[in-house]
Amino acid sequence: MISVIIVNFNGKYYTEACIESVLSQTGPDREIILIDNASSDDNTEFVRRRFPEVNVVENKSNRGFAGGVNDGIRISKGGLHPYA
């Protein structure tokens, strides 16, 4: 299994296409984790309704890209790419 971690801050405009792109890929089993860095748009509710298979985590503050990725890594179930 691989883990795809998407870090978001007020990015509702891009999120749907991003998740659809990941879902259209073939290959190993995957999990998608959306880390939301305290956005003010309704992106998390939209993702929960449209993509119930995505694990949505709502941070209470904007932890930045690296902080968001680290949050996603902590809960991910997938392995690391051998070249990572």
CATH number of the domain bearing residue 33: 3.90.550.10
Alpha helices in the chain (DSSP H): 12-24, 43-50, 64-75
Q: What is the pTM of this model?
A: 0.89
- Domain span at residue 13 reads 2-75
Confidence of residue 82 (pLDDT cuts 50, 70, 90): low
- The rounded distance, in Å, linking the Cα atoms of 35 and 54 is 10
Percent of residues, the chain, with pLDDT higher than 90: 82
- The rounded distance, in Å, linking the Cα atoms of 24 and 47 is 16
Confidence of residue 1 (pLDDT cuts 50, 70, 90): confident
Q: How many domains does the chain have?
A: 1
| 81 is a domain residue | no
Q: What is the pLDDT of residue 28?
A: 84
Per-residue pLDDT tens for 9-54? 999 999 999 999 999 998 888 999 999 999 999 999 999 999 999 9
